[in-house]
Chain A
């Protein structure tokens, strides 16, 4: 049976706002990687989207049970690029080394959008390091025969958020957001189609949860269906009334889903307490 991660006891409803992320820099062979860390428990590597790291309610919820480590993609939010790391697949190798450093070589991985793209490569290239795996709104799977993604601000806003009123206020300066977009280009992630990954996605052996918003028009539903079909130990869950920015559109649903899957593994399909008192 494919289990989840051993939980940290959690009673009552903790005040998630009590978790504050602290910055750590980890030296890896290509250079330094900045990580934001909060919570305690088993280590969970959380991989952020192309919007950069913003602690969403689901991520804050995970801090109740896990030590959440969120590496900042080099080049994002003012961090330096790494020498020789110029693709999403190469980033996965960097994060594999990070797992060795922060989690003794193996941990749970959750990624959203760009983060799921990296997470998929990480699980594919380093299967021994990832268990379990969450791929939420996974980027990298938009078939090139489809119309190209729009990056026009109004269209993006509409496509990213089913509930724009729930998105966090943007506090980052425009130049930082522009530099994040440049970093995306550096990793050749702007096209949202990764042919190699699509060809090899069925090689993932981690227990995998694929999460897709029913209103996500940036990641085609056919792509997540194909992932469900070819990844042997995978589950696909649609989150109703959520667009691509799934963690902000439906924070309660997504947070509970992440938590349930990470703690209970394959048994998350059974309606039972998150931390069963009985075996």
Chain B
């Protein structure tokens, strides 16, 4: 089992963000942000010392939810301060950006890190489309075409042109090319049946980055596996990543309390305006057309109202002492057979000293005891 540490780098200097979109940045305080960036990057670097295999950064726009509109900048900063951890970009929002820019920046990160990049190619959540004024109706079309183009930009041996529906380039030959051959491993979101099938088509690591319950995660893994088999290959555990908010402390009581408070802040403050934009997109476009039953807002509401114990039971979070969390991870693995876990260790406004302590406890008391999970199965599949 491989472990990633991810941090959304939220802006936590506010107590309410309002419900409208966009979220006004009137109350943004530069001094607070400077301190937060220093703390957050230090925490990400600390993940390597704790034994995490990967350090994750992701892209979100125009919200205190995450101050990483370009995660590649953070990835570049991490490369300079780490030596072994993989730089797990999860990832660039492909339909929103010039795909060649993604190909180029990821190639830079791969070269700068000596081949440590995992290249996340994400479709993005609805509010990002409002932020960058891209038609949500074109989301899947742009995603597919852009991914094809990025792969070609990394692998074509000769300069080439591209005439597509959304992208046209007459002369492409990127410098640098990636170190890893044929290209860096891909990671894609698998939060819905459509995205699970899509990830399988590209043999990407599928990230189920917000688990509703273990049954839902299991079904998405089944869909991915079904698609892979239809395409003639067998995925091992290393293709499946499960993302979970995580709080580890010396006592269950402390971990539970901190997780609960951080979660409330996450939903009440960080997620507020995002929900509004999401509603506008989902109701006015075909963003979810491939997945009629996807109801992200209902899902969020359920998560917010559930107790920590219920959320542990559903596989939505890891919470407790190191011993408890080891058991929770083993149980999840027994159900899902996944080979990656993406631990979100800063939830909402969770205190940063707690985050630091939680990571140390994970490094000392959790990772050494669960690292072997799925290893044999991954080797067999390889």
Contacts and interface: CB of A to CB of B under 8 A. Distances in A.
A and B are partners in one complex rather than unrelated chains: yes
Nearest to B135: A271
Contacts of B3: none
Contact of A278 (B26, B130, B133, B286): B286
- For chain B, the bracket of interface size reads 10 to 19
Nearest to A266: B280
- For chain A, the bracket of interface size reads 10 to 19
A267 B280 contact: yes
B10 interface: no
Max chain A CB contacts within 10 Å: which of B21, B277, B283? B283
Max chain B CB contacts within 10 Å: which of A270, A271, A273? A270
Given A1-B279, A229-B26, A233-B20, A271 B133 contact: yes
B280 A1 contact: yes
B283 A269 contact: no
A206 to B, nearest CB: 15
Contact of B129 (A270, A273, A278): A270
B286 A270 contact: no
A264 interface: yes
A276 interface: yes
Contacts of B283: 1, 267, 279
B294 interface: no
Max chain A CB contacts within 10 Å: which of B134, B281, B285, B286? B285
Nearest to B277: A269
A270 B20 contact: no
Contacts of A276: 284-285
A270 B279 contact: no
Contacts of A264: 284
Q: Main SS of the interface on chain A? A: loop
A255 to B, nearest CB: 18
B62 to A, nearest CB: 11
B130 A272 contact: no
Contact of B136 (A1, A229, A270): A270
Contacts of B280: 1, 266-267, 269-270
Max chain B CB contacts within 10 Å: which of A229, A271, A273? A271
Max chain B CB contacts within 10 Å: which of A264, A267, A269, A279? A269
A1 B285 CA distance: 15
Given A266-B280, A278-B286, A279-B283, A271 B21 contact: no
Interface in B15-38: 20-21, 24, 26
Contacts of A267: 280, 283-284
B137 interface: yes
Interface string B127-171: 001100111110000000000000000000000000000000000
Contacts of A273: 137
Contacts of B26: 229
Given A229-B26, A264-B284, A276-B285, A271 B136 contact: yes
Contacts of B277: 269-270
Interface of A: 1, 229, 233, 264, 266-267, 269-273, 276, 278-279
Per CB-CB distance, the 4 closest pairs between chain A and chain B, nearest first, are A271-B135, A267-B284, A272-B285, A267-B280
Given A270-B277, A271-B134, 5 more contacts: A270-B130, A270-B281, A270-B284, A272-B136, A276-B285
